Structures are given as structure tokens and as C-alpha cells.
Amino acid sequence: MILSVSRRTDIPNYYSDWFYNRIHEGFLYVRNPMNAHQISRIDLSPEAVDCIVFWTKNPAGMLERLDELEKYQYYFQFTLTGYGKDVEPGLPDKREVLIFTFQKLSEKVGTQKVIWRYDPIFLSSRYTVDYHLKAFEEIAHSLAGYTRRVVISFVDLYAKTQRNMAGLQVKDFSDGDMVELAKQMANISERYGMEIVSCAESSGLRKVGVKHGSCIDKKLIEEIIGCRLIVDRDKNQRAECGCYESVEIGTYNTCKNGCRYCYANFNDAMVKDSVRSYDVNSPLLCGHIGPEDKITERKVKSLKDNQLSLFG
């Protein structure tokens, strides 16, 4: 099993103590977002978990306890953009805090296991193409030697995202602007020794040096664990998504980053209500088991092809 921690919320930033508790307990519960009374019990034993993929904008709270994950393999997707507090209000200063945190994490776990994400990209009167290129190059310069890969994507204006982004004066991307921006970012990435890939974008960016990427990346995971995996593409994601199947453990409406482009938070009131129910010792993230809840053991297993070592 590949464990996704998490597309729906920033567990490393706000709930790392809960996650470490669940690792020590050996299991956790996840509510079905389509039916709140359906709960899955997920086995977290090292025998079942082949790799953990962390998604975060600030993993500082995890850094001093990474030795507690010594029985597990993992990597981080670390989002670091050029947006200000008007877009990412819950994050600390990029130059003074987050770049240093990225560097420190990389020094602890290695450049292969920390992937830089500059996404999602949108345009406005403030966040122009020139703005993004300047911010991207500054961050790339700071992260040179600390990561091997950068991921870019362009914002998808879902209904929830449009509501949250009201007032930012978001402009439509022309195909020309998108391709030109991707081309310049590819040039910058090459200068700083990074591979650049896209997340859930059309293959049209290949012609300017941006490969189609996978966030849940089978090839990378096989390199990290030293063994081939028997795993299919994730059919629950968008058609353009290159990710492989994983088990998602996050909960919507629990992220306190407050990013205006986020699709996983419906509104601030729902987030505040969810966060009030957070219990670091509960098997559920932000909540407890109720009388109408039904718990089912989710069948998970290792995906390793033990017949064929990657290096055999």
C-alpha cells in the first residue's frame, strides 16, 4: 500500500503528533467523504505500508521526530510558491522560515525524498508572468542542491475554488502565456540542476521541456524502496493525472493554511468547526466515533513484487 498523507489537508503541518500516534498504534480510521458514517480502518504496519507520500507546505513539526519513521520509506511533496499572505494567509515567511525548513528537511532525508512544488499557478494583476518567473528563480536558487525535481501545475477553477479566490482578480491563462511560462521555468530549472515535471496538465508542455509527472510516482517509489511494485494507475483521479493508486487518509475542511486556491476546504466556518473536534489521541483525524458509525477493515497489503528486485 502507498499511503497518501494527504491531498485533503496538511497533516505534517498541523497534525503530525496525531500521525505519529497513529504510527505507534498501528492503525487509523478514515471517514468516507461521500458517506460520513462509513469508516475504514487502515492497517499502518510496516508490512502493509510500502511508502508514505507526505503533502505539505510546512513540515517543521515533523523534523525532530523523523527517527520514529525508521521502519518506513517515504518522501515529501513540499509546496513553496511566491504568493503572499493575500493568497496563503496561514503560512510563515517564505524567505525567513520555509526555505530554511526545506533545506533542513533535505539535509535529514536526502534530495531524492523532497520534491519542490510550485503550484498551483494563477495570474492576476499582482501575480503576473514576470512575477512568477522572478519568484520561481529566487526559490530555485535557494533550493539548488536540496532537491532533484520541481512540479508545476496551473490552477483549476472549481466552483469552491472560485468562491475562495473571489477578490483576487484572477485572469484567464491564454495557451500562449501558459506555454511561455512553462518554457521559462524549464530553463530556470535546468540552470539549477532540477528536473521539471507537470501535475495533471496536458502533454502539450513537453515541447518546451516540461515532462508529464506523477505525484504518487511508481518509478520514484521503486527507487526509494529498492523493489518493483505491482500497482495500477489511480482511476479516481482526473484523466490527466499520472498518479498511481494510494490510500488517502486525510479529511476535508481541516487544513488551517487557508490558501485561497484550495479545493479541499469548503469555507472557513466548516474548517473551524472541524478543528474544534481534533483529538491527538483519536483514531480519526478531527472527530470521534458516533453510535451510527460503521467501521470496516479496509483490505490493504504490500504491493511489492518480491519475485523481482529492482537491482536483481
> Structure pTM?
0.95
Q: Is 6 helix (H, G, I), strand (E, B) or coil?
A: coil
Cell of residue 198, nine digits: 507537470
Do the Cβ atoms of 9 and 250 come closer than 8 Å? yes
* pLDDT bucket at 307, cuts 50 / 70 / 90: low
Q: Using CA atoms, how far apart are residues 46 and 22, in angstroms rounded to an integer?
A: 12
Q: Which domain holds residue 75?
A: 2-309
The total number of structural domains in the chain stands at 1
* pLDDT bucket at 65, cuts 50 / 70 / 90: very high
Please, what's the b/e burial string for 223-235 (b: 16 or more CB within 10 A of its CB; e: otherwise)?
ebbebbbebeebe
Q: Using CA atoms, how far apart are residues 275 and 288, in angstroms rounded to an integer?
A: 12
Q: Residues near 195 by Cβ (< 8 Å), separated by ≥ 6?
A: 148, 149, 150, 189, 211
Rg (CA), the chain: 19
- C-alpha of 86 from chain center: 21
pLDDT in tens, 13-60: 999 999 999 999 999 999 999 999 999 999 999 999 999 999 999 999
- Give 115: exposed, middle or buried? Use CB within 10 Å, 0-12, 13-18, 19+: buried
* pLDDT bucket at 308, cuts 50 / 70 / 90: low
Quick one: average pLDDT of 178-184? 94
137 pLDDT above the threshold of 80:
yes
* pLDDT bucket at 204, cuts 50 / 70 / 90: confident
